Amino acid sequence: MTTHPFHSTGQLPPRPDEQSGQPRPPRAPRKFGGEDATPTDREPRKAPAPPQQQGPRLEWYQEGPVGALKMAAWALVIMFVALVLIWQGFEWISYWYNWLLPPVIASLIYFTSRKDWVAAGARWLQHKSSWVDTYDLVEVAIGANGANQVLKLTDSAGRRIQTLPLRDVQENADLWDLVYNGILHSTVNGKANPPRGTRIILKLPGA
């Protein structure tokens, strides 16, 4: 995990300009370190509009068709292996209904992956159609939703993001940098009081 400059200097990095996004925040610490950057060769698919009068969308994360197909292919493999293990052999192939399972699960994974959407501007974060002002957060917490650890954020206007997988928001490092700077400001300025566990995971002061 990277060391954030705040921890050595005690100086909060400046807020980026709402329109230009400059200066970009320093690299933020991450638990899930994907290498995905905001694609420049394609537009997002069915993306919700950015929040009005909050500045443009600077970074976004959405699985592309190739990535989603790879995930679906893995799901197919996992399901076929699972069927062999469950039936302790290949008897399952003689029952037609077993053949439906792998493609159904693979399709579910493909379409849900293509629908996932996380975007950030200089001062906002959007998950699906919900968004929060990242510099005006009153709740920052990490909880769970099924098999995902999720980021729960609420801003002072009552806008909420409650089920954003930590993995998804940290997948794109540039996006996470923008979000983390807002979380850091909200915490250091005393607007948000994250629980100790959340402070440890996110490397926030006061852990």
On the CB side of 88, CA atoms within 13 Å amount to 0
Binding residue (CB under 8 A) for another protein from 56, 115, 196, 205: 196
Which of 128, 159, 167, 191 touches another protein (CB under 8 A)? 167
Nearest CA to 164 out of 180, 177, 148, 175 is that of 148
134 close to 124: Cβ distance less than 8 angstroms: yes
Total number of residues that touch another protein (CB under 8 A):
51
Q: Which is nearer to another protein, 23 or 39 (CB)?
A: 39
CA distance 44 to 39: 8
Residue pair 72/106 in contact by the 8 Å Cβ criterion: yes
Q: Is 38 in the site for another protein (CB under 8 A)?
A: no
Question: Helix crossing, 96-115 with 65-87: angle to 10°?
Answer: 150
Nearest to 182, CA basis, from 132, 148, 116, 147: 132
Instruction: Choose which of 11, 35, 41, 190 interacts with another protein (CB under 8 A).
Output: 35
Which residues in the chain belong to E strands, given as ranges?
59-61, 118-120, 124-127, 130-133, 137-145, 148-155, 160-165
In one-letter notation, the amino acid at residue 133 is D
Among 36, 156, 160, 188, binds another protein (CB under 8 A): 36
Residue 34 in the binding site for another protein (CB under 8 A): yes
Minimum CB separation of residue 158 from another protein in Å reads 23
Residues 109-128 that bind another protein (CB under 8 A): 109, 112-113
The distance of closest approach from Cβ of residue 8 to another protein in the complex, given in angstroms and rounded to an integer, is 21
Least CB distance from residue 184 to another protein, whole Å?
17
- For another protein, the closer CB: 115 or 157: 115
CB of 138 to another protein, least distance (A): 19
Which residue in this structure is represented by tokens 């060769």?
41
Binding site for another protein (CB under 8 A): 31-36, 63, 67, 70-71, 74-75, 78-79, 82-83, 86-87, 92, 95, 97-98, 101-102, 104-105, 108-109, 112-113, 142-149, 165-168, 171, 195-201, 207
